[in-house]
C-alpha cells in the first residue's frame, strides 16, 4: 500500500518537473509557486522513503553476515547494529505514516482572523484586545504579515470586534486550530475588592477565499454606505466611507469602516465576505463526513471553550489536548508554539487513526 503511494508520488513528481519547465507556467507566478511547493513536499516524502529503504537494506546485509559468519565478535557487532537499526526503522516507519497523511489544501492559504468580545462586558473587550496583540506578536515572530480589515474599538480599551488578514507561509495551516471560545480569569482594573472575573472572547480563523473559488452574483449583494463612527458613537469621517455588505442568500453581513476610502472599505469587506461564504459552504459539507472527535480537536464547534488564560495562577490551559503551560505572560507576548505544535500532533494522530480504520 505504501509502495503504491510512493510510486504515484514519483509519477506526479515527473509531471511537475515537466510542468515547471513550460514557459507559460514559469511566467505565471502563482501557478509556478503552487507547483514548486507541491514538488518540494513530494521530494521530502520520497527522499525520506528512500532513506528508509537504505536502512532496511543495511539491516538485511547485517542479517546475512550473522547467517554466514562464524566469527563471534563480528556476529556480536552485527547483532548490536541490527538492534539499533531496527529501533530507528520503527521510528522512521511511524514518521512515514504521518508524512503520507493527505495535507489540507487550505493550509497554504492566507488566513482571516475574527476576534469578538463575548461575555464579560468591558473586560471581554479588553481581553479581545489582548488576543489580538498575542496573535500579531506571534505572526511577527513567524515572519507572517498582518493587515487590519475591520475593527470596532471599545470605549474602555480593546475591541468589541477586530478582523485582520494574515499572509505568508502557510498562515491558515499554522493557526486554524485557534477557532473557538477563549476564556480569561483575572481581577479587572475596575474591581475594588480583588474578585476574580471570568470573561470570554471568540476567535474564528477562516481561509481566505480566492476569486476562482467563490463567485458572487452582484445581484445577491445589498451594499449600504454610512459615516464611520468611533467609541461613543461619534463620527470620525465627514463622508459616507463606511460600507456594510449583506449577502442576501446566506444572510451574512460584513461591515468595514477603517479606511477613509469607500472603495477600500468595500474591497476589504468583500474579502471577508468571500471567506465567510466559503467557510460556511465547507462546514456544511464537512458536517456529513467529519467525525465528532475530529471536530473536538480541530475546534470545529466554535461555541466550545477551547482555552483558559488564568492570571492568578499564571497558566494557560488548552482543554482539547489537556495541555497546561505556566508562562501566561510569554504566551500573551506571542509564544504560542507549544500549543500550535501539540494541536498539530493531536490532529495528525487522529487523521492517522482514521486512515487505519
Separation of alpha carbons 172 and 37, rounded Å = 16
The per-residue pLDDT for 302 is 54
> CATH says 106-208+290-356 is which class?
alpha beta
Residue with cell 511547493: 37
Give the pLDDT band (50/70/90) at residue 296.
very low
Separation of alpha carbons 318 and 14, rounded Å = 43
The per-residue pLDDT for 289 is 42
Separation of alpha carbons 253 and 230, rounded Å = 20
Q: Smallest Cα–Cα separation from 133: which of 110, 111, 158?
A: 158
**Mean of the per-residue pLDDT values for the chain?**
87
Question: CB atoms < 10 A from the CB of 321, how many?
Answer: 16
Separation of alpha carbons 150 and 163, rounded Å = 5
Backbone angles phi, psi at 253, to 5 degrees: -120, 135
Whether the pLDDT of residue 353 is over 50: the answer is yes
The overall pTM is greater than 0.85: no
Whether the pLDDT of residue 283 is over 90: the answer is no
The per-residue pLDDT for 279 is 86
Separation of alpha carbons 225 and 165, rounded Å = 23
Backbone angles phi, psi at 272, to 5 degrees: -65, -40
Whether the pLDDT of residue 178 is over 80: the answer is yes
Give the pLDDT band (50/70/90) at residue 285.
low
Looking from the CA of 4 toward its CB, the CA atoms found within 13 Å total 1
The three grid cell numbers given for residue 350, joined into one nine-digit string = 487522529
Q: What is the mean pLDDT of residues 190-216?
A: 82
Q: Is 166 helix (H, G, I), strand (E, B) or coil?
A: strand
DSSP of 275-300: HHHHHHHHHHHHTTTS-HHHHHHHT-
189-212 core/surface letters (b: 16 or more CB in 10 A; e: else): eeeeeeeeeebbbbbbbbbbbeee
Give the pLDDT band (50/70/90) at residue 163.
very high
Separation of alpha carbons 259 and 277, rounded Å = 23
For 31-83, how does the pLDDT look when each residue is reduced to its tens digit (9 = 90+)? 998 899 899 999 999 999 999 999 999 999 999 989 887 788 888 999 999 99
Q: What is the mean pLDDT of residues 191-206?
A: 87
What are the structural domain ranges in the chain? 2-99, 106-208+290-356, 218-284
Backbone angles phi, psi at 44, to 5 degrees: -60, -45
Q: Smallest Cα–Cα separation from 209: which of 283, 109, 108?
A: 109
Whether the pLDDT of residue 311 is over 90: the answer is yes
Which CATH number is 218-284 given?
A: 3.30.160.20
Question: CB atoms < 10 A from the CB of 296, how many?
Answer: 17
Contact at 8 Å (CB) between 160 and 154? yes
**Long-range contacts formed by 287-291: CB under 8 A, 24+ apart:** 291/354
Whether the pLDDT of residue 164 is over 50: the answer is yes
Q: Let me know the angle formed at the C-alpha of 130 by 128 and 133, rounded to the nearest 5 degrees.
A: 110
The three grid cell numbers given for residue 332, joined into one nine-digit string = 500573551
Which CATH number is 2-99 given?
A: 1.20.58
Q: What is the mean pLDDT of residues 294-306?
A: 57
Of 108 and 214, which is predicted with more confidence? 108
Q: Is 273 helix (H, G, I), strand (E, B) or coil?
A: helix
Q: What is the mean pLDDT of residues 15-31?
A: 92
The per-residue pLDDT for 356 is 63
For 80-113, how does the pLDDT look when each residue is reduced to its tens digit (9 = 90+)? 999 999 999 999 998 898 888 888 888 989 999 9
Amino acid at each position: 500500500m505504501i509502495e503504491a503511494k510512493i510510486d504515484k508520488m514519483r509519477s506526479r513528481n515527473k509531471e511537475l518537473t515537466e510542468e515547471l519547465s513550460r514557459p507559460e507556467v514559469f511566467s505565471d507566478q502563482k501557478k509556478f509557486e503552487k507547483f514548486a511547493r507541491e514538488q518540494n513536499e513530494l521530494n521530502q516524502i520520497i527522499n525520506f522513503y528512500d532513506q528508509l529503504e537504505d536502512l532496511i537494506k543495511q539491516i538485511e546485509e547485517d542479517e546475512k553476515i550473522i547467517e554466514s559468519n562464524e566469527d563471534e565478535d563480528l556476529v556480536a557487532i552485527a547483532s548490536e547494529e541490527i538492534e539499533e537499526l531496527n529501533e530507528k526503522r520503527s521510528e522512521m516507519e511511524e514518521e512515514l505514516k504521518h508524512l503520507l497523511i493527505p495535507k489540507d489544501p487550505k493550509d497554504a492559504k492566507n488566513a482571516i482572523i475574527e476576534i469578538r468580545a463575548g461575555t464579560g462586558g468591558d473586560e471581554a473587550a479588553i481581553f479581545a484586545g489582548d488576543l489580538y496583540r498575542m496573535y500579531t506578536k506571534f505572526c511577527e515572530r513567524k515572519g507572517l504579515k498582518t493587515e487590519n480589515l475591520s475593527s470596532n474599538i471599545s470605549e474602555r480599551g480593546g475591541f468589541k470586534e477586530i478582523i485582520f488578514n494574515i499572509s505568508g507561509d502557510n498562515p491558515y495551516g499554522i493557526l486554524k486550530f485557534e477557532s473557538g471560545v477563549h476564556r480569561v480569569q483575572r481581577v479587572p482594573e475596575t474591581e475594588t475588592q480583588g474578585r476574580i472575573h471570568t470573561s470570554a472572547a471568540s476567535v474564528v480563523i477562516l481561509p481566505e477565499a480566492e476569486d476562482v473559488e467563490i463567485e458572487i452574483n452582484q445581484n445577491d449583494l445589498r451594499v449600504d454606505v454610512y459615516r464611520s463612527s468611533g467609541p461613543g458613537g461619534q463620527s470620525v469621517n465627514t463622508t459616507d466611507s463606511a460600507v456594510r455588505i449583506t449577502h442576501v442568500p446566506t444572510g451574512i453581513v460584513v461591515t468595514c469602516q477603517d479606511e477613509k476610502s469607500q472603495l477600500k472599505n468595500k474591497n476589504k469587506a468583500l474579502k471577508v465576505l468571500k471567506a465567510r461564504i466559503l467557510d460556511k459552504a465547507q462546514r456544511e459539507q464537512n458536517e456529513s463526513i467529519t467525525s465528532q472527535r475530529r471536530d473536538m480537536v480541530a475546534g470545529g464547534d466554535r461555541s466550545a471553550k477551547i482555552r483558559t488564560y488564568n492570571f492568578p495562577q499564571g497558566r494557560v490551559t488548552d482543554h482539547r489536548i489537556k495541555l497546561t503551560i505556566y508562562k501566561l505572560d510569554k504566551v500573551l507576548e506571542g509564544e504560542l508554539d507549544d500549543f500550535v505544535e501539540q494541536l498539530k500532533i493531536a490532529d495528525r494522530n487522529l487523521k492517522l487513526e482514521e486512515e487505519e480504520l
